[in-house]
Amino acid sequence: MAQDWLTQPHPVVVIGGSSGSIEVLLTLLPGLRSPLRSALIVVVHRRNTADSTLSELLALRTRIPLKEVDEKEPVEAGVIYLAPADYHLLIETDFTFSLDDSEKINYTRPAIDVTFESAAAVYGPWLTGILVSGANADGVNGLLAIRQAGGRALVQKPETALVNFMPQQAVQQQAFDQLVDVDDMVAYINSL
């Protein structure tokens, strides 16, 4: 490991979702306090073409700096990072981002599992994964990896999700520490 866990400067939160997740983000982002004391990494299934519309839409909902990830960019507290279209997003042991265009996983790129699992290996107990609305099981294995590494796994309450398949899969696999609604997510991130 590049550093001991106790010398980590800040916690990291990764949010993953698919169908219906944009609605969650549009509700969550305005409630986050600035300055954000954690890094917030967002991985959503999106079209395969480069398109800044999503980052522009989300940036309008928050006062916290929000940007699409660049290769080798360091993970810093106080920033909301959005996984770019058509790349898997990984966290390296030197606490930088890496973009990968290898095969799709769970029929998608970026895949939530890829980001959750790589972040778990680097941040361990400093990491929280949040899985929200979506139509496939991507993210469930990543939540299990986060829990195994000592991190915390939150899952949107299936009954509050626009598309409940993804959260329901996490519940069935017992890949969560707590079921939450959007207000709970906001309160949790603000408490870090």
The active-site residue, picked from 21, 38, 113, 138, is 138
The active-site residue, picked from 18, 21, 38, 55, is 18
The active-site residue, picked from 21, 38, 45, 88, is 45
DSSP string spanning the chain?
Answer: --S-GGG--S-EEEEEE-TTHHHHHHHHGGGS-SS-SSEEEEEE---SS--SHHHHHHHTT-SS-EEE--TTPBP-TT-EEEPPTT-EEEE-TTSBEEEE----BTTBSS-HHHHHHHHHHHHGGGEEEEE-S-SS-TTHHHHHHHHHTT-EEEEE-GGG-SS-HHHHHHHHTT--SEEE-HHHHHHHHHH-
Look up 88 and say whether it is catalytic.
no
Look up 45 and say whether it is catalytic.
yes
Look up 138 and say whether it is catalytic.
yes
Indicate if the alpha-carbon torsion angle 12, 117, 144, 22 is positive or negative.
positive
Provide the annotated active-site residues.
Answer: 18, 45, 138
